[in-house]
Amino acid sequence: MDVIRLLDQASLQIGAALGLDKREARIEARALGVHAWKVDAAWLISHDTDPLTGEMLTTYDTLLSRRLEGFPIAYLVGSREFYGRPFKVTSDVLIPRPDTELLVELALERIPLHRSVDVLDLGTGSGCIAITLALERPLAGVTAVDRSAVALEVAQLNAKTLNAPVDFLTSDWFAALADRQFDLVVSNPPYIPAADPHLTRGDVRFEPVAALAAGVDGLDDLRRLIHDSRSHLKRGGTLLLEHGYDQADAVLELLCQHGFEQNLTWRDLAGLNRVSGGCRPGAVAPSG
Ligand code: GLN
């Protein structure tokens, strides 16, 4: 058995077991090779006809069988790209999703490049949002909280590897933030209804349910965040929240009820309502 034959066989198995197309299955088969043998993608090509040692076969097969059971590729290889940067992920954190890049882009539009503002990311998980904001806007003071200590360890490691200046704090939403106020608060909270069949399919089955599910209608945490945000936003400060494709109306109504202004919803790359936000009234005139 040589490298190329093993990878070809593995892609067929992956494609069949997980319903992936040929291209995706090949990418995954190679990613498992890179991870199993601690080589880079170029090695796989230049060594494609190398015979495999028994040990190489065993390490590959162990990973492959987990993948065939549905365990997410991101957890198996321990990493996922977000906004062009690699983030370490473990099963203690949600796997970063391209949908969330919308939240990042909207946040970046609101963080000036040449002035320092205070930004808070609630329920940071892998840290992908907070770290991206800190790296894209070096003058911003970015704080990130999570109530899960193990998730925060992953986020802190990512910040260290990517050299991002983020202040991390263990906190159940705003609980440990006392009376601190921010110019911008962002969050990708759990928002899936607890009985939603989506939770029993694909990668999601292996992700931390506490990062995904939020009560009967999926709005438990969004309600709490909107309620508690007002007192932690400076006047004129903005709240941006990711939510489910069918939750925009409910979130806009909650924002309205809590006195937020200029409330809007934005669509993700798939054309689905994905982020809503608004401002705490009473912007102070900029001082030049
Ligand atoms: N968008 C994710 C999903 O549908 C859920 C992310 C979240 O709950 N914050 O799998």
25 lines ligand 1 (CB under 6 A): no
Does residue 285 sit within a domain?
no
Same domain, 33 and 168: no
Count up the domains in the chain and report the number.
2
Task: Say whether pLDDT at 198 is over 90.
Answer: yes
What percent of the chain clears pLDDT 90, i.e. is strictly above it? 97
User: Does the Cβ of 129 fall within 6 Å of ligand 1?
Assistant: no
97 lines ligand 1 (CB under 6 A): yes
Q: How remote is the CA of residue 192 from the centroid of ligand 1, in Å?
A: 7
Tens of pLDDT, residue by residue over 132-143, are: 999 999 999 999
Residue 286 has pLDDT above 70, yes or no: no
Dist. CA 288–CA 286, nearest whole Å: 6
DSSP letters, 246-277, are: T-HHHHHHHHHHTT-EEEEEEE-TTS-EEEEE
Do 166 and 33 sit in the same domain of this protein?
no
Considering the domain architecture, whether residues 61 and 150 belong to the same structural domain is answered as no
Nearest alpha carbon, ligand 1 atom 2? 212
Share of the chain above pLDDT 70, in %: 98
Q: Residue 14's domain is classified under what CATH number?
A: 1.10.8
- 124 closest CA partner among 98, 149, 91, 99: 149
Summarize pLDDT for 40-86 with one digit per residue, the tens: 999 999 999 999 999 999 999 999 999 999 999 999 999 999 999 99
Residue type at 248 in one-letter notation: A
249-283, pLDDT tens digit by residue?
A: 999 999 999 999 999 999 998 999 999 999 999 86
Ligand 1, closest atom to CA 207? 10
Which residue, judged by its Cα, is nearest atom 5 of ligand 1?
212
pLDDT at 282: 85
Output the CA 92–ligand 1 centroid distance in Å. Answer: 15
Alpha-carbon distance values, 92 to 88, 125, 187, 254 (Å): 11, 8, 18, 30
**Which DSSP category does 40 fall into?**
-
Phi, psi (5° rounding) for residue 105?
Answer: -60, -40
- Residue 157: pLDDT above 80? yes
- Residue 164 shares a structural domain with residue 264: yes
Q: Which of 242, 218, 228, 147 is nearest to 181 (CA)?
A: 228
Q: What are phi and psi of 199, to 5 degrees?
A: -70, -15
- Ligand 1 contact via 214 beta carbon (within 6 Å): no
User: Which of 97, 186, 217 should be mutated for ligand 1, with most atoms under 8 A from CB?
Assistant: 97
The residue whose CA has the least distance to atom 10 of ligand 1 is 204
Q: What is the mean pLDDT of residues 191-196?
A: 97
Pocket test of ligand 1: the residue of 93, 94, 101, 198 to mutate, having most ligand atoms within 8 Å of its CB, is: 94
CA of 99 to the centre of ligand 1 (A): 9
Same domain, 118 and 249: yes
The whole-number pLDDT of residue 203 equals 94
Please indicate whether residue 59, judged by its CB atom, sits closer than 6 Å to ligand 1: no
Give yes or no: residues 253 and 138 share one domain. yes
Which of 37, 70, 103 corresponds to the end of one domain? 70
Ligand 1 centroid, distance to 190 Cα (angstroms): 7
Distance of CA 212 from the midpoint of ligand 1 (Å): 6
What pLDDT sits at residue 260?
97
> Would 287 be classed as within a structural domain?
no
Count of residues in the chain: 288
Mean pLDDT of the 97-126 span: 97
pLDDT at site 131:
98
Per the structure, the complete domain to which residue 180 belongs is given by 79-279
Residue 288 lies in a domain: no
Of 25, 43, 70, the one marking the end of a domain is: 70
Kindly state if the Cβ of 128 falls inside 6 Å of ligand 1. no
- Ligand 1 mean position to 256 CA, how many Å? 24
